[in-house]
Amino acid sequence: MIGPRLDGMVALVTGGAGGIGTAIVEVLGAYGARVVSADLGHEEGESTDRVHCDVGDPLQLRAVVERVVQDYGALDAVVHSAGITRDAVLWKLSDEDWGAVMRVNLDAAFQLLKASAPHLRRSPRGAAVLISSINGERGKLGQANYSASKAGLIGLARSAARELGRDGARVNVVAPGLIGTPMTQALPQEHQERAIAETVLGRPGTPQDVAAAVLFLCSDLARHVTGQVLRVDGGQLMA
């Protein structure tokens, strides 16, 4: 029977200490993968599978990739879930806040793919998933930096899919809508209610909903799926 088993797969997840990232780490692990989480929120030397890393620092990120390959002998899947916001309208958005969001959300994805590409190309089931947002497709008031970074992930993924596909490695995007995480729950109540009203299903998603999409895209169930954007938004963008 075909199922989303990841037995023997070695996976690296950035932002694994966040709400969505934690769910991704747990779900991939539950289905058989050996998962390494890289996050600024992890303590130095916490464990072999929880690595302290500022993903906005290319040297640190490349070192984590090298460490995973050295420790486990392979790297079959990478998931870029790390992301930050620094919201402001354009005329109030500082250069520092623009750069910080781009560095973590988009630049780190490029560095992750660049460092892991040789290993994904060698793997018989190489897969990469970038966590974008529906706001990367539609834009969002006060989120020029965030929306631009998330839109950039889509172009990056599709280009990488064309380049890595020749070796059988796949690259896809998951674009969540409103997901119940500490970051979104800190939004003003009226903003949350407006986002829920936009959905067809009438409710926010959960981190596990996003993790399930990542599981699918990393598994053999998606072995002929690449360069795609899978929305996990309850029909929010459709509406």
Contacts of 184 (CB under 8 A, 6+ apart): 178, 192, 204
pLDDT of 38 over the 90 cut? yes
pLDDT (average), residues 9-24: 96
E strands within the chain? Answer: 10-14, 34-39, 50-52, 77-80, 127-131, 170-176, 229-232
- Residue 47 — very low, low, confident or very high, per pLDDT cuts 50/70/90? confident
Q: Each residue of 144-163: pLDDT tens digit?
A: 999 999 999 999 999 999 99
Q: What is the signed CA dihedral for 11, 82, 138, 117, rounded to 10 degrees?
A: -40
Q: Which amino acid is at 160?
A: A
Predicted local confidence at residue 86, as pLDDT:
96
pLDDT of 235 over the 70 cut? yes
Q: Which amino acid is at 235?
A: G
Q: Each residue of 53-66: pLDDT tens digit?
A: 999 999 999 999 99
Separation between Cα atoms, residue 142 and residue 120, nearest integer Å = 36
- Residue 228 — very low, low, confident or very high, per pLDDT cuts 50/70/90? very high
Contact call for residues 47 and 74 (beta carbons, < 8 A):
no
Predicted local confidence at residue 2, as pLDDT:
63
Predicted local confidence at residue 89, as pLDDT:
98
Options 3.40.50.720, 3.40.30.10, 2.60.40.10, 3.40.50.300; which CATH number does 10-231 get?
A: 3.40.50.720
Question: What are the extents of the domains in the chain?
Answer: 10-231
pLDDT (average), residues 170-175: 98
Catalytic center residues: 146
pTM: 0.95
By percentage, how much of the chain surpasses pLDDT 70?
98
Q: Each residue of 72-120: pLDDT tens digit?
A: 999 999 999 999 999 999 999 999 999 999 999 999 999 999 999 999 9
